[in-house]
Copies of this chain bind each other. A is one copy, B any other.
Amino acid sequence: MILSFNCLVAQSGGPTAAINASLAGVIQASVENPSINKIYGALNGILGILRDQILDLSATFKNAEDIEVLKSTPAMYLGSCRYKLDTSLKSNQYQMIFDLFKRYDIKYFFYIGGNDSMDTVARLATYAEAKGEDVKIIGIPKTIDNDLVGTDHTPGFGSAAKFVAHTILDIAHDTYIYDQPSITIIEVMGRNAGWLTASAALARNDYNKSPDLIYLPEVPFSTFDFLKDCRQLLKQKKNIIIAVSEGIKDEQGHYISSTNQTTSGSDGFGHGTLSGVGKTLESLVKTAIGCKVRSIELSVLQRSAMHCASKTDLDEAYALGQHGVMAALDGQTGVMLTLKRRTTSAYQADIETVDVRKVANQEKKVPLNWINPAGNDVTEELIAYLQPLVAGEPTITYKNGLPQYMNISHLTATA
């Protein structure tokens, strides 16, 4: 007789189109494995564990069809949180968490999230080790920002990158139709890392050379150079398209967006929330150049749009979920699943693990040698890195013209 235990899974951080695919992978691998009995899910990340808000996922996901639908449902089926564990001496949060693990007979805990969630994974694994608790704590990465170290790229990034590139190509078609000079500024998410903004370059093809300028937060932004670039380009072509990261800063490190508006709040981790760099540059162009100018903020669409998700991304996210379960059953703990790109010419990535303490609270930025010397474009090496990550289109089931997603009525609670 095989001894069987339960597992618990939770999701945290900002949503992506691929984070439920990782959850689907965890559920699928757990269902298949006889040494896992029940699959529990915590609502709203670590908060749901502290509050004992636990769903029985084994009861909901009884057949392969539901798991498949979950795989292509955007955002987080289990809800999210932006909550940092209270590490003060007077706090008993660790104890509360491990008490719950005991109560639910949980031996495996999977936390799907970004930078901050990996911090939580590291802390829980360290605590378990110190206290001799036999619970395997596994981190499964996701973030549209692609800023986690120790992995070639992160699930969620490829789909967001595809949305950015696809949308910019559509905007190019929309822009070129008028016989009138114009500048279109596309504001892309990315506070400190420019990966997602860089993926705008994938919109280029035989006939479309836009975006004409790409500004990442890794390089100081000069409004003087920006206007010079715009004026120069307007001499060569009619319609200019510019991709700009929300997080670009001037030489002094001040956000460009905050020159005419303050940051509009901050999340639980003390990161400022930004908006407005597009509008800021729009008024700058209007005043200094005076041509037709428009700014477009891709907003939350870039992280939640399922209609142009990357199949490669969803498949990898799913596989990382499955391998997370295998790693836990193998006895690993305090690790994050990673993708390691092979050096073969055709794209292939292997799944490995890394000590989560080595990756938590770090940010992987775009290497400076992947940004052109003028600081207004990316290099061919960066484009070659990005290209395979957006490949392939997942099959989404539609009914009456709208996608069929998993029912999330457990999240649409009354006030």
Contacts and interface: CB of A to CB of B under 8 A. Distances in A.
Interface stretch (A252-260, A331-339, A407-415): A407-415
Nearest to A411: B176
Contact of A171 (B208, B297, B304): B304
B174 A407 contact: no
Contacts of A239: 412
A393 interface: yes
Nearest to A235: B415
A209 B76 CA distance: 18
B412 A170 contact: no
A170 B301 contact: yes
Contacts of A294: 300
B176 A408 contact: yes
A77 to B, nearest CB: 9
A36 B222 CA distance: 57
Contacts of A357: none
Interface stretch (A1-9, A61-69, A159-167): A159-167
B412 A179 contact: no
Contact of A202 (B205, B292, B401): B401
A387 B407 contact: no
B75 A407 contact: no
Nearest to A401: B390
A162 B413 contact: no
> Would you call the interface of chain A mostly helix, strand, loop, or mixed?
loop
B401 A300 contact: no
A353 interface: no
Q: How many monomers of this chain does the complex have? A: 2
A186 B79 CA distance: 22
Contact of A207 (B74, B208, B408): B408
Interface in A49-81: 73-76, 79-81
A358 interface: no
B206 A409 contact: yes
Contacts of A205: 402
Which of A307, A402, A413 is the most central at the interface, judged by chain B CB atoms within 10 Å of its CB? A402
Given A301-B171, A307-B166, A412-B176, A401 B407 contact: no
A234 interface: yes
Interface in A244-300: 265, 292, 294, 296-297, 299-300
A147 B280 CA distance: 34
Nearest to A313: B401
B401 A310 contact: yes
B178 A79 contact: yes
A327 interface: no
Contacts of A209: 412
A88 interface: no
B306 A170 contact: yes
Interface string A216-240: 0000000000000000001111110
Given A207-B407, A208-B408, A294-B300, 8 more contacts: A44-B177, A162-B402, A166-B307, A169-B403, A202-B401, A237-B415, A310-B401, A391-B400
21 contacts: A43-B179, A75-B173, A75-B177, A76-B177, A79-B179, A80-B177, A166-B402, A169-B405, A171-B301, A174-B300, A176-B412, A206-B407, A206-B409, A209-B412, A238-B412, A265-B292, A296-B299, A301-B301, A307-B308, A312-B401, A392-B398
Interface of A: 11, 15, 43-44, 47, 73-76, 79-81, 162, 165-167, 169-171, 173-174, 176-179, 181, 202-203, 205-209, 234-239, 265, 292, 294, 296-297, 299-301, 303-308, 310, 312, 387, 390-393, 398, 400-403, 405, 407-409, 411-415
